[in-house]
Structure 1
Amino acid sequence: MKFTKMHGAGNDYIFVNGFEYDLDWKHISQIVSDRHKGIGADGLIVASPPSNDSDLKMRMFNADGSEGEMCGNGIRCLVSFARDEGLVSCDLQVVKVETMAGNLDVFPILKNSQMIGARVSMGPPILIPQEVPVRIDSDNPTIDYSLRVDGYDLSLGFVSMGNPHAVAFIDDDVDSFPLALIGPQVENHIIFPNKINFEIVNVLSRKELKVRVWERGSGITMACGTGACAVAVAAHMKGIMSGEVNLKLPGGDLTVRWDGVGEVELEGPIETVYKGFFH
């Protein structure tokens, strides 16, 4: 199987041409994502033929084999991969990508005719708890739900960007927070019927946030595009920021724009690590 390994702000995936291969992708994702016995990645993304009028379909699988609705970093890399593979025209100024979270527009950013990043129209955030989904007794957007986990009192905001997120703004440095301990307990908490992604956030200024991520199905990752969007939305709702914000993640910086209504826009880099064959 021919593959390309790419990353967006350190969030790394194995990319495969689904026009050429039709395999058990859930099983393949578990194998190739293993950082000791496989290639090593946060998951697998398959470029597939669209089922609607989009240019391309994205299927995204986490390291544990579960299929995810969307990946903000992965979708940028996917478009670059598709351009390189000849699956979409390099003349397209916007590439329409079908995902389980809906059809999204990706705007390639070029330098010397090479794609170095992209802007993505991520769609509007979903804020009603039952639609995120979260099992709590509220019909209103929630940004300060109290949850005690292993001795830690968390104040959570709930946002879906096509996939569910719980966001906690904390005073202690996110680098010292025991994310490997608390992350899986939040992910699998009974109030999250589909499990959940978990972000912890430090406010550095009204224009800059520091973030770490526990991704559902993958664990600690270097970055998360949908998570960055969820954090920006939660920050806006809390009155911390408005307009554009820079998010500093362990793997690099992402920029999110949201004016409180309409679609969220994510911008970030892409990079090819290497190409190869997996037997």
Structure 2
Amino acid sequence: MQFSFIKCHGSGNDFPLIDARALSLSDAGWAGVARALADRDGPVGGDGLLLLTTGDEDCAFGMRMFNSDGSEAETCLNGLRCTARLGFEVLGLEQATVRLKTSVAQVARDAELAPGVATVRTVVGPNSVAAADVGLRIEAEQVIEAVVPGLPSARAFTAVAMPNPHLVTFVDAVDEEELVSLGSWCEGAPALIPARANVSFVEVRRDADLFVRTFERGVGLTNSCGSAMAASVLAAGLTGRVPFDAQVRVFNKGGLVRGRASADRVVTISGNATFLYDASVQVDVAAGRAEVPVMHARREDEAAAWRAAVAGLASAS
């Protein structure tokens, strides 16, 4: 089956993005396409597969996101910005309500992070600090800056659902080996959290900047996870590390976003939605294999604008 797609990224989180509004494929079929196109050893590669889907009476359009292992995520904020940008362009919109797997999201074009960097603002949620909503099988009603019983870590975590599940801990310095070990344990769907969880180690840097490193559910150690950055902003507010309603810069290995959390837990994230190239590809859906894509157009100006923005912001941080 042949697909046209846009290779895109949000804060370094890269995806093939398909306009699927006129396509009919089963969930199992889309899972196969995700395994083919988001395979890092394959001809396209990515942190997952994004689909722009049709809207309904309440939403202008929808988004589905399949991880590289074929599982479907409740949300993906870096991917949502890219999908929203495509939705804006094909429908002639500046803002919209978007249908996600289990919720809806508000999205809008925003002031550029840097010259030439397309930027989209998202209101994140609905979120929750209820342990049950995060998927934790514990007696406590919530976990805010506390050790999680049964988790193989003595660190204090804050558990939030964005609505996908996140465990966030603040550290003096990120230990990637420790992060991967704990994330891999959660990835095994233990009895403590059978639906698995995203795990983030977060450093608070000068001027209340945050640096986030995440082991993403269904992906592994990733350079960027949008919902993890949002979860980290909320956790920083809930634990008093960053004042509520303060705008903070959230860095990761892929780049950065602007974030803000309010006392009533409304989280807003603004970040890039960069299109890298347009291509088409033949996919054996059943086998989950893709052929070498045919390139139609490269968007070198956007890629260059993002590189310049990251270099400038990194030197200023």
In the TM superposition, residue 21 of structure 1 has moved relative to its aligned partner by 2.1
Q: Which residue number corresponds to residue 25 of structure 1?
A: 30
Residue range with higher mean Cα deviation, 17-26 or 56-65? 17-26
In the TM superposition, residue 124 of structure 1 has moved relative to its aligned partner by 4.3
In the TM superposition, residue 245 of structure 1 has moved relative to its aligned partner by 1.9
> Which residue of 40, 60, 64 corresponds with 1:59?
64
Is the CA contact (8 Å cut-off) linking 1:124 and 1:264 kept in structure 2?
no
In the TM superposition, residue 149 of structure 1 has moved relative to its aligned partner by 6.3
Q: Which residue number corresponds to residue 274 of structure 1?
A: 277
Please give the alpha-carbon distance, in whole angstroms, between the structure 1 residues aligned to 2:192 and 2:146.
Answer: 15
The reply to whether residue 125 of structure 1 matches residue 127 of structure 2 is: yes
| Aligned AA (2:95) | V
| Aligned AA (2:210) | L
Change in CA separation of 1:126 and 1:215 when aligned onto 2, cut-off 3 Å? same
In the TM superposition, residue 252 of structure 1 has moved relative to its aligned partner by 0.5
Higher helix residue share: 2
SS at match of 2:94: coil
SS at match of 1:211: strand
In the TM superposition, residue 93 of structure 1 has moved relative to its aligned partner by 2.7
Unpaired stretches in structure 1, ≥5 consecutive residues: none
Deviations 1:86-136 (A, max 9, x none): 2x21xx33121111241211111366xx87011101134200101222111
The reply to whether residue 16 of structure 1 matches residue 18 of structure 2 is: yes
Please give the alpha-carbon distance, in whole angstroms, between the structure 2 residues aligned to 1:147 and 1:234.
Answer: 19
SS at match of 1:199: strand
Q: Which residue number corresponds to residue 72 of structure 1?
A: 77
1:1-279 equivalence runs, <5 A: 1-23=3-25, 24-84=29-89, 86=90, 88-89=91-92, 92-109=93-110, 116-146=118-148, 152-171=153-172, 173-174=173-174, 176-188=176-188, 189-205=190-206, 207-242=208-243, 243=245, 244-279=247-282
SS at match of 2:128: coil
In the TM superposition, residue 183 of structure 1 has moved relative to its aligned partner by 1.7
Is the CA contact (8 Å cut-off) linking 2:199 and 2:216 kept in structure 1?
yes
SS at match of 2:256: strand
Is the CA contact (8 Å cut-off) linking 1:129 and 1:142 kept in structure 2?
no
Please give the alpha-carbon distance, in whole angstroms, between the structure 2 residues aligned to 1:233 and 1:210.
Answer: 14
| Aligned AA (1:75) | L
In the TM superposition, residue 233 of structure 1 has moved relative to its aligned partner by 1.1
Change in CA separation of 1:174 and 1:56 when aligned onto 2, cut-off 3 Å? same
| Aligned AA (2:211) | K
Runs of 4+ in 1 over 4 A off after TM superposition: 147-150
Unpaired stretches in structure 2, ≥5 consecutive residues: 283-317
| Aligned AA (1:237) | L
SS at match of 1:126: coil
Aligned length: 273
SS at match of 2:52: strand
Deviations 1:46-83 (A, max 9, x none): 11112442000101100100011101111110012223
SS at match of 1:266: strand
Change in CA separation of 1:139 and 1:215 when aligned onto 2, cut-off 3 Å? same
Is the CA contact (8 Å cut-off) linking 1:148 and 1:154 kept in structure 2?
no
Please give the alpha-carbon distance, in whole angstroms, between the structure 1 residues aligned to 2:141 and 2:176.
Answer: 34
In the TM superposition, residue 13 of structure 1 has moved relative to its aligned partner by 1.1
In the TM superposition, residue 206 of structure 1 has moved relative to its aligned partner by 5.6
Q: Which residue number corresponds to residue 293 of structure 2?
A: none
Change in CA separation of 1:117 and 1:175 when aligned onto 2, cut-off 3 Å? farther
Is the CA contact (8 Å cut-off) linking 2:138 and 2:149 kept in structure 1?
no
Please give the alpha-carbon distance, in whole angstroms, between the structure 1 residues aligned to 2:31 and 2:68.
Answer: 9
In the TM superposition, residue 177 of structure 1 has moved relative to its aligned partner by 4.3
Per the normalisation by structure 2, the TM-score is 0.80
SS at match of 2:205: strand
In the TM superposition, residue 147 of structure 1 has moved relative to its aligned partner by 5.7
Say what the alpha-carbon RMSD is for the aligned residues.
Answer: 2.2
Deviations 1:237-270 (A, max 9, x none): 1110122221110000112111221421011111
Is the CA contact (8 Å cut-off) linking 2:233 and 2:261 kept in structure 1?
yes
